[in-house]
Structure 1
Amino acid sequence: MKSTLTNLWHPICGVQIRDMGEKRYLFKFFHSMDMNRVLKGLMWTFNNHLLILSKLRIGEGPLKIPLVYVPFWVQIHDVPIGLFSESLARLLGNFIRVFLEYDGSDLGKENRNYMRVRVQIDVRKPLRRKKQDKNDDRNRFHRDG
């Protein structure tokens, strides 16, 4: 696991991985930039298992943290480009689960006709697949990544 994730993450100052038991691992990054890049990055998997990452606070026990929340980038299709905005992204993101951020970069590039919204998902609950609009039943949510 260590060599695979180290090759994938390329931490500049290194990472230490400790098996805590109960299918939990403690990742110790030696530079905050490395840790933030991993936490902010894609959803991570190892051997087809989703890695649920959480930043430890001072005094927190790593076995006490409920590892059930994962940030996902989702694509929201069939929204007229003129309506793309952070306020709409926030509204739709909170409909899906919990809004985290809106990716307003690259709008209009490469014919991107969808909004990218990062949401926090509780992996114990099914994802809402559709939101019906009064005027159009084609609005769909897609996991991006």
Structure 2
Amino acid sequence: MNVNINAMQNIMASLCRPNEGMRVHDIGGLRYSFTFFHPMDIHKVIDGGPWSFKQATLVLHKFAEGEDPCTVKMQSVEMWVQAYDIPRGFILENILRSVGKSVGTFIRVDSNTFDGIWKPFVRIRVTINIEKPLKRRMKIKKEGGTEGGLI
């Protein structure tokens, strides 16, 4: 994919809307470094993902001090998944945690899930291995054997 760095920087800045600005650098091998100048902007971008550019998902990684960006294995992406058709009595933290674990590595449930307002789906934050296919359905069951059907 041929990428114009200035175009990428402008498009991503308009999507991410960093308070303190950002810079994009091509580091080779279809890898790009995004530099943010305020920690709040970094958290906003990581928590707001996944992000895409030219219909390609951007796999993000916050680098530790001294970490080589050219050697880090980029195989997972954090994202919000939406689980539909969960019966009301099954919208419980432990069940939603299990749903998240069936998709990837569970991170958290959207705090708005438990605000008492009915929604057609719940959002669960997970880390997904991009080298594996996504699961599309799962059967859920409450403790005691009550089945909730497929989601």
> TM-score normalized by structure 2?
0.83
2:17 is matched with 10
Matching residue within 77, 90, 97 for 2:104: 97
- 1:81, 1:113 within 8 Å by CA — same for their partners in 2? no
User: Structure 1 CA distance, aligned partners of 2:123 and 2:73?
Assistant: 27
Does 2:68 match 1:40? no
Partner of 1:125: 132
Change (3 A) 1:133 1:14: closer
**1:27 alignment partner, one of 13, 34, 39:** 34
Q: Tell me the equivalent position of 1:55.
A: 62
Superposed displacement of residue 60, structure 1: 0.3
Name the SS of the counterpart of 1:129 in structure 2: coil
- CA gap of 1:94–1:33, structure 2 versus 1, over 3 A, is same
Shift in Å, 1:108: 4.1
> Matched residues in 1 for 2:135 and 2:75: separation?
17
Q: Percent identity?
A: 33
Shifted more, 99-108 versus 83-92: the winner is 99-108
* Superposition deviation, residue 136 in structure 1: 5.8
- Matching residue of 2:119: 112
Contact 2:105 2:128 in 1 (8 A): yes
Deviations 1:66-95 (A, max 9, x none): 111111211222222232122111111111
| Alpha-carbon RMSD | 1.7
Q: 1: CA distance between counterparts of 2:24 and 2:14?
A: 13
- Higher normalized contact order (CA 8 Å, seq sep 6+, divided by chain length): 1
1:41 to partner: Cα distance: 0.1
Distance in 1 (alpha carbons) for counterparts of 2:41 and 2:140: 41
Match of 2:85 among 65, 78, 84: 78
How far apart, in 2, do the equivalents of 1:91 and 1:136 lie? Answer: 13
* 1:143 alignment counterpart: none
